[in-house]
Every structure is written in structure tokens, then in C-alpha cells.
Amino acid sequence: MSKYSKYSRFFHIFVQMDKYITEAAQKILHSSHLNAFTGAGISVESGIPPFRGEGGLWNTYDPIVLDLDYFHQNPLEAWTVIHKLFYDFFGKADPNVAHIGLAELEKMGLLKTVITQNIDNLHQEAGNTDVVEFHGTAQTLVCTSCNKKFNKNEIDFSSLPVQCNHCNSLVKPDFIFFSEGIPPVAYARSVHEAESADLLLIIGTSGEVMPASMIPHLAKNKGAQIIEINTDDNIYAHASNDIFLQGKAGEIITKLIHEIKTLRNE
Ligand code: APR
Ligand code: ZN
């Protein structure tokens, strides 16, 4: 490819992206019920690796640690990896500009609900007040026998596996393991919000895990428009997007908020 055509292609993509950002900002301003649907990709810029794709956690660790039978049969092995991934590593992460941007959209009265597959609590820490945790949360833990609830700050992670101080049984994080069902209240709210939205902003998900990956299709089937942000050209980019913004969530959300403020003459 000649030097000129390479630059003209880059310039074309750059101009195209600006056009799409403006279009997406206009859709957000004109929507009456915008919801967001997020996955691990929105937390990558907080230092939390995704599960799949480049640098994915499942490339390094065996997802079997989140299998319920394995967890009960090998509590120490499972808890050693779970603690490393979800309490040691995740625990130190802060919200990034993408999380903060979604909180700003809520403050601007433009975003209603965030349906997230993430368990890292970063949307809440950024300031979103209506967050549905489709896969539960790492913030609380529960005894597998007496159902006593614990906040993660009450737990002494220096002694693993984590055991209940009430009945001595195994304690597990309050996020779902692969063979577990979606928390019923979160499931019902997510379906309701997906079907009530007239615009859905999908950020940073591979769409590989059911039933979470049906959320955009529920919205689309009820007539919602879809804007997707992802670094990779992935399955949603073909199926149902009205606008696909390829890039890092932090950069794109920052551009979107700037464009919205410009269009609102702020
Ligand atoms: N900005 C935007 N998108 C990004 C970024 C970024 N900075 N970095 C990565 N991505 C995209 C990747 O291209 C990928 O499509 O984020 C997506 C992450 O996909 P997954 O790692 O599969 O995460 P997710 O879709 O949330 O996985 C769903 O799988 O293991 C289970 O319970 C776990 O909730 C998780 C579920
Ligand atoms: Zn107990």
C-alpha cells in the first residue's frame, strides 16, 4: 500500500469515527430510555484483564476454579486462584474514565440503568446508582451451609479456604459460578430493562456467555437501537448494531461525553 493511500485510509477511518461519534451522541440525546450493558472490557483500563482474547484470564488460569463441584472438592486450590484473581488483583482496581463517563451520563439524566456482567463494583464506585449485577458481586460472600452473608472486608484472606465463623463450613463469593443460575432478581430486572430501553449502549463484552449475551437481542427485538463499543470487531458488531465504535472504552466514552456537551452547547 503506498504511503499516501495508507494515510488516506487512516484519515478516512478517523473522519468516519468522528461521524459515528456525532451520530451516537445524537441518538443518546434523543433517547428516552438509555441503558448500558457492560462486560469485562470496560474494566481493562482499570488494570483488570478480560476473560477472553488478548491477555485473557482464561488463557492463564483454568476456569474450573469457578466450577461448583470442583470448588467443593478442592476448596484450597479453588480459593487460592479465586483470591488471587478476584480479591487480591481486582480488589486494588479503581474506576477508569469509561466507568466515570457512564456515571456522568446518569448525572446528566441521559443514562438510566447499567446492566453489568462484571463483579468488580467499579460502576458503583464511579457513581452509577442503578446497577444490575447479572453475575453477582465479589463484594459479599455467603456460607455454603448456613447462608450467613459476609462483606469482603470482614474476611481474613490470609487463611484459605475461607470458612464460616458461625458453622465452619466453606464460604463462597457472591458471584455465580459456571454451573449456577443467574440471581433471580438480577435476571428479572435485566430482562425488564433490556425490553424497556429505546437505546442500548454495549461496552466491552465478547458476547460469549449465555444467558447474559441475550440482553442485546431482547432490546433489539423490542425495537431498541444498539450502539456498541469494543476494541475488537466481535459478534455483536455484525448481529444487531446500529452504530459500532471500535476502540478502547475510555477513549470512546470520553469523546462521546464531549460531543454530547458540544451538541447541548455546554
Ligand atoms: N475497551 C473496550 N472493549 C475492550 C477493551 C477495552 N479497553 N479491552 C477488551 N475489550 C473487549 C474484548 O474485545 C472482548 O470482546 O472486551 C471483551 C471482553 O470479553 P470477555 O473477556 O469475554 O468478557 P465478558 O464478555 O464480560 O465475559 C462474560 O464470562 O467468564 C465469564 O462471568 C465471566 O462475566 C464474565 C462473562
Ligand atoms: Zn455458616
Residue 90 binned pLDDT confidence (cut-offs 50, 70, 90): confident
Residue 234 binned pLDDT confidence (cut-offs 50, 70, 90): low
pTM value is 0.93
Question: What end-to-end distance do the CA atoms of the chain give, in Å?
Answer: 42
User: How far is Cα 83 from Cα 91, in angstroms, rounded to an integer?
Assistant: 10
* Residue-level pLDDT at 6: 61
Ligand 2 midpoint to CA 140 (Å) = 14
Query: Which residues does the annotation mark as catalytic?
Result: 135
Residues with Cβ within 8 Å of 69's Cβ and at least 6 positions away in sequence, in order, are 179
Place of cell 441475550: 214
Domain definitions of the chain by residue range: 1-48+95-135+181-266, 50-92+140-175
pLDDT at 22 over 60: yes
The 8-class DSSP code of residue 145 comes to: T
CB-CB neighbours of 163 under 10 Å: 18
C-alpha cell at 222: 423490542
**Ligand 1 site, residue 39, Cβ cutoff 6 A:** yes
Ligand 2 midpoint to CA 151 (Å) = 14
Residue nearest to atom 29 of ligand 1 (CA): 209
User: How far is Cα 130 from Cα 8, in angstroms, rounded to an integer?
Assistant: 43
Please state which of the four CATH numbers 3.40.630.30, 3.40.50.300, 3.30.1240.10, 3.30.1600.10 is assigned to the domain occupying 50-92+140-175.
3.30.1600.10
Residue nearest to atom 10 of ligand 1 (CA): 41
* Residue-level pLDDT at 110: 98
* Residue-level pLDDT at 24: 97
Rounded to an integer, the average pLDDT of 84-101 is 91
**Tens digit of each residue's pLDDT (9 = 90 or more) over 47-65:** 999 988 888 898 999 999 9
Of 42, 51, 229, 236, the residue with max ligand 1 atoms within 8 A of its CB, to mutate for a pocket test, comes to 51
Residue 92 binned pLDDT confidence (cut-offs 50, 70, 90): confident
Q: Cβ(177)–Cβ(63) under 8 Å? A: no
**Ligand 1 site, residue 127, Cβ cutoff 6 A:** no
Give Dmax (Cα) for the chain: 71
**Tens digit of each residue's pLDDT (9 = 90 or more) over 3-16:** 556 666 555 555 67
Protein residues with C-beta less than 5 angstroms from the ion ligand 2: 143, 145-146, 148, 164, 166-167, 169
Ligand 1 midpoint to CA 185 (Å) = 23
Write down the CATH number for the domain with range 1-48+95-135+181-266: 3.40.50.1220
CB-CB neighbours of 55 under 10 Å: 10
pLDDT at 1 over 60: no
Residue 151 binned pLDDT confidence (cut-offs 50, 70, 90): very high
Ligand 1 midpoint to CA 85 (Å) = 15
**Centroid of chain to Cα 235:** 16
pLDDT at 266 over 80: no
In terms of Cα–Cα distance, which of 122, 131, 134, 126 is closest to 175?
Answer: 134
**Tens digit of each residue's pLDDT (9 = 90 or more) over 192-224:** 999 999 999 999 999 989 999 999 999 999 999
**Ligand 1 site, residue 234, Cβ cutoff 6 A:** yes
